[in-house]
Structure 1
């Protein structure tokens, strides 16, 4: 009998080991991993620097609670803010918790409760972040949601203009909608959000849970557009596989989250932060990020070239090493076929193949993945 709640549609694959961009199952079969734990293992599986850092911390201490000062929290927070225009960090365990903290902070700071988010967005599954998510399938079955969330069409400046006024506490947006189909925000749209937030005294929140920590070739995806958000949220790639999330905010917000206003028992756990410190020390190097951007450009160009004659494919889109192949029909069976052929990819909605390789993926592995995708999509069109 399965002792787990069936909350996941699990694949018929049991992992035995993993290293870099390769996963090995319990039968010995190897897979090229373009999932990376859903944009989590940005340095690939079992990166030696992360292993060393975690082992070193394990020998010191594991947990004492946030009643104590911890040098490693200051060190990791320092790395995060040094690569941003933000000034303070709250550590938690996940992206949903980071977004929950952002929503609480926005409402407490502004003393307003209306929050604008966008259709097809995804911000988490807690009651607050589920309400912030602009997808009916995430809301279904849970009764009344947390009130005063407004869902607008993504990349629609006119709708934003009409909805914004001084009753809005915050606008929360993804620079690239991940779960919503790997849809990039336009510069015009993102700049408009920033402009209207300043005009109306609203906070500008950017959910960088999936796009952050180098995924798009910048430390944070909003830096491609020179945006200056009041709050950003992080998780996934931050700990390279260990659970950790973070909310970053501007100096003006610090006093709003004073003692007793918010908390997290395991937030800022030293083992998770040891992994984060090691990951950030590598990923936030200028030459590493430049190489991610280069690889992302290469992967997108190779996919576009390989799939340009495929009737099934309508577009290759995304940013850096966060790409989507949009198709004319549902691709659930295609995901399964690719997995059987040794390539692990994700869906983003019913008709988008989502690619999230490790940032350390080699060009040879990129070429291999492109060939596998091309052959599978050709076979799908023929059949």
Structure 2
């Protein structure tokens, strides 16, 4: 496989499974190095892991085995993937709170490699609010989890908290390096993008400055993550990949009709389009000629697509966008609750780097659960990635 796996072993009875995991990873063709906490060595000796990995085992930050390198920095740079297994409640708490007081935590603090955490603990410890908070913090920070399985625990309880089997973790690692990670696989996601145009006559219309870039970025990222994506877009010059079903519309009414067509078969709806709130009551069939004096045009409301979806969404997950110029949080939260959304993505379109037509965005994501995620200026692709990670987590929780 020619990939480097750094296995970080913290202290618990499941350390014996970590020994088996080391063997399985080596058999799968990975280069494996092991870090053990002091408490882990109370269950299984470092010599066992050395024999199985065919590499020195690291237990002490100050035990520098090679004078030419600093061990924890060298290991942090060496790893293509770090797996913490078993991960105790203690080590999860340290990582979540930035405590770096041993070889394991200092190495992880110094790495740029992805980190997977495989918890193993008593079922009540796993359900402890502090542990759950720490897991949530780590997930938001980009750590990924190999969920513990349910079964008979060493303490005598039966429940969730048993370290996932070495064969399963090895299979996940192999897939990570050979198969694209697709957490949204088999889900149907409906995305809307761009502006709408409300005709006044054959040559004039009312519209807005939306480019559609945000919606297209979301659709493309969702497709990469395995989702079956339908993108309903207003007028834009953007194109997308062939694995996305693209539906082009002009008006708010046309977008409403298309969205309602695809809504029943969708699991998740992300409505980033800037749909017109009003349209001219009358649309002329011929070009209107200019006349002396003023011109008065009477408008009527368009259908509120997002509110309609919120009223019938049932078990679907619904995400809206709020492009504002002032009172951002107030208006975003009002929209979140008034339209029965799960998430609303808000931005200040007057802020440099966050407005229409831009390749970047600065957003805050508000959740129905009162969560708030503030993102710095990012590319719209990066915003899409962060949003979809939040969406994927919410979807798993709903299930």
Q: With the length of structure 2 as denominator, give the TM-score of the two structures.
A: 0.27
Higher relative contact order (CA 8 A, sep 6+): 1
Structure with more of its chain in strand, by fraction: 2
Q: Which has the larger radius of gyration?
A: 2
Structure with more of its chain in helix, by fraction: 1
Q: With the length of structure 1 as denominator, give the TM-score of the two structures.
A: 0.28
